[in-house]
Amino acid sequence: MPLLGRGDPNLAGKHRTSQPLPAASNRVELSFMSRAEEYRTNAMSEVSSVGRSAGMRSIMRAGQDVQPVCGNVTCRNSWTFPWKSRTRPIFEERWACSSRCLLAMVEAAIAREAGDGRRDGVEIQHQHRVPLGLVMLANGWITHPQLQRALEAQKSEGIGRIGDWLVSECGLESEVVTRGLSVQWGCPMLTTEGFSPQAMAMALPKIFIEKFGILPLRLAGTKILYVGFEDHLDASSAFAVEQMSGLRTESGIVVADRFIEARERLLGCQFARMTECKVADRDTMVKAIATVIEQRQTVASRLVRLRQFYWLRAWTGGGRYLRGGNLPARAQDAADYLFTVGT
């Protein structure tokens, strides 16, 4: 499989945006990318249809501003206690007119996130992979005796990844292992060049880095966020970051020692304030999330699920919020809430 240019992030970006993928190469890569494109298309059409219907329901008279319309699709505009503010709180780009409507909007968002089985489909798709050793053997990067030796060492010690054993037992360069991983996962190799830890700490809660091994690396232009992984690709966490930020994520494998070094630097940065909340059931979560949004009078907020975590991010007006694609400029501009249901 040709690897020329795989280390160049810009090239990877061009493939995704302007050119059809090469017909040959890797089947897993193709199906993964087309799924990801499908999600984006769906998400984008959802947003634009919401925008259109809100526009149609707006009341405009000569000489008057457009009145904001409540984001609750079943709003009757006749509740007894509507809020006075017409600009806050905002949840997922839409204003809520009252506590009752905010609850309905949050409930709909949770149902959407909870019922989204498509992301799990991506995970299942990624469970069957050619073992790394065989990928490397097939590409001629290791010999059969080398693989045998690494496998035996792994077996007798009972621990360790095959890639690490190939490095320690057979003297292989760790970059060759990374190249093997990028073929195995059908993704590019990424460098840590241009890595800006403090800016990247704004992309997600710290716990996701620790739990899922995702490492935001850098912004390319204004719309692409490169995220790295050490020895596997976690499409779910990359997708969650993409949904929350509105930035398109491009995932790749980073050479192990660079990954570890960058991760340490990132973990030492200041993250948005995070609150973890365990709730008994979904109804309690709906109320808790609506309460946060109402009390904080968010200028923007969004809900995304990543496995068991319902991640609410609340922007409260200190900093600039760019609709459709940005990271908070400072840790104090946003607050994260992670909800989990059950024990």
Using CB under 5 A as the criterion, which residues of the chain lie in contact with Zn ion when the complex forms? 70, 72, 75, 97, 101
Which CB atom, from 7 or from 71, has the smaller least distance to Zn ion?
A: 71
Which SS3 state, helix, strand or coil, does residue 312 take?
strand
Name the amino acid, one letter, at 80: T
Which CB atom, from 72 or from 243, has the smaller least distance to Zn ion?
A: 72
Q: How far is Cα 209 from Cα 227, in angstroms, rounded to an integer?
A: 11
Which CB atom, from 32 or from 95, has the smaller least distance to Zn ion?
A: 95
Strand 309-315 relative to strand 300-306, pairing: antiparallel
Which CB atom, from 107 or from 164, has the smaller least distance to Zn ion?
A: 107
**Which one-letter DSSP state was computed for residue 21?**
P
Degrees to nearest 5, angle at CA 216 with 172 and 255: 5
Which CB atom, from 104 or from 215, has the smaller least distance to Zn ion?
A: 104
CB of residue 88 to Zn ion, shortest distance in Å = 14
CB of residue 69 to Zn ion, shortest distance in Å = 8
Virtual torsion, Cα 137, 143, 144, 149, nearest 10 deg = -110
Which CB atom, from 162 or from 289, has the smaller least distance to Zn ion?
A: 289
Which residues have a Cβ under 8 Å from the Cβ of 6 and sit 6 or more positions away? 12, 179, 182, 188, 189
Q: How far is Cα 272 from Cα 44, in angstroms, rounded to an integer?
A: 27
Which CB atom, from 75 or from 327, has the smaller least distance to Zn ion?
A: 75
CB of residue 244 to Zn ion, shortest distance in Å = 25
CB of residue 76 to Zn ion, shortest distance in Å = 7
Q: How far is CA 31 from CA 37, 71, 72, in A?
A: 10, 35, 36
Order of strands, sheet of 273-279, starting from the edge strand that comes earlier in the sequence: 273-279, 334-341, 309-315, 300-306
Six-digit token string for 81: 């206690």
CB of residue 287 to Zn ion, shortest distance in Å = 17
Which CB atom, from 71 or from 328, has the smaller least distance to Zn ion?
A: 71
CB of residue 99 to Zn ion, shortest distance in Å = 10
CB of residue 288 to Zn ion, shortest distance in Å = 20
Which SS3 state, helix, strand or coil, does residue 184 take?
helix
Q: How far is CA 21 from CA 4, 80, 303, in A?
A: 15, 55, 32
CB of residue 316 to Zn ion, shortest distance in Å = 22
Residues facing 335 on adjacent strands = 273, 314
Q: How far is Cα 297 from Cα 315, in angstroms, rounded to an integer?
A: 9
Peptide bond into 68 cis (omega under 30): no
**Which one-letter DSSP state was computed for residue 6?**
T
